[in-house]
Amino acid sequence: MPARADLRIAFQTQGATVSAKVQASVPNPADRAGAALYLALTQSNLATPVKAGENRGVTLHHDSVVREWIGPLALDADGKALVTRTLALPQGAKPDDLGLSAVVQKPASGEVLQALALPLAACKS
């Protein structure tokens, strides 16, 4: 099924922050009703040592953990949204483990019109 929204992400890392600019556009008026934009900063390669319970002594590994969530952000009457944010990077996080994701979704139905994820390592400071 072809995407029914257009998403663009631009970002730049600056020390312990990332400045992100996300643009969304939903060209079909029928798709715009109730649609919203979301932005997430994610981190992979996390580990949690389990200290109690049936998994005691096991280390659990986690990928694509949402560290910051922004949204829902409404689209304007033309079906567009623009968000610019500066996000603090998790302390001690490696750039290779971080990413930005954007989603245009209709929250009432859960229908995703488009999603995009990019690793922060793709950005050269």
Q: Is residue 42 part of a domain?
A: yes
The backbone region for 79, taken as left when phi is positive above 0, alpha when psi lies in -120 to 50, beta otherwise, is left
- Percent of residues, the chain, with pLDDT higher than 70: 98
Global confidence as pTM: 0.89
Each residue's pLDDT tens digit, 55-78: 999 999 999 999 999 999 999 999
Instruction: Name the pLDDT band for 16 (thresholds 50, 70, 90).
Output: very high
> How many structural domains are present in the chain?
1
CATH number at residue 19: 2.60.40
- Cβ-in-10-Å burial (0-12, 13-18, 19+) of 33 comes to exposed
Residue 1 in domain: no
- Work out the percent of the chain whose per-residue pLDDT is above 90: 90
| Per-residue pLDDT reduced to its tens digit, 110-120 | 999 999 999 99
For residue 11, give the H/E element and its range: strand 6-14
Domain that holds residue 81: 6-122
> Is residue 105, in this structure, part of any structural domain at all?
yes
